[in-house]
Homo-oligomer: A and B are copies of this chain.
């Protein structure tokens, strides 16, 4: 199992009047982690789009344990949770430098054609990428 780790640029823009990071921004950090995982193993989401596909989010779950504050140091850890050929589930943890968990969650993705948003099989359209996920998944 491979776990990617990427430091997050925490912006003042992402805080809210509770004095902490607004909860929807964690989903952007999941995106950051996912992109980093893909890069780490030698693939590219940009290349997927250039080939004519998108990988939209089908669903998302996030549980918030401890608020991230402006001035904190935070990382997103990302792995492939499951991968059935059609849907890929990524797992995430938002942690600090001592690996204390701020939040954790998952996103499920499908692959669709750019022009009509029709789902295709990830396994068939990107066989090498799918195979790599089989090797590194949980």
Contacts and interface: CB of A to CB of B under 8 A. Distances in A.
Nearest to A46: B71
A interface, by DSSP: helix, strand, loop or mixed?
Answer: mixed
User: Size band of the A side of the interface?
Assistant: 35 or more
Contact of A58 (B11, B32, B64): B64
Interface in A27-84: 27-28, 31-32, 35, 45-46, 49, 54, 56-64, 67, 70-71
B63 A58 contact: yes
Interface stretch (A16-24, A92-100, A125-133): A16-24
Contacts of A8: 9
A2 interface: no
Contact of A11 (B23, B31, B61): B31
Contact of A18 (B23, B25, B56, B71): B56
B58 A60 contact: no
Contacts of A117: 67
Nearest to A72: B46
A121 interface: no
| 4 smallest beta-carbon distances between A and B, as pairs | A24-B27, A15-B17, A59-B63, A46-B71
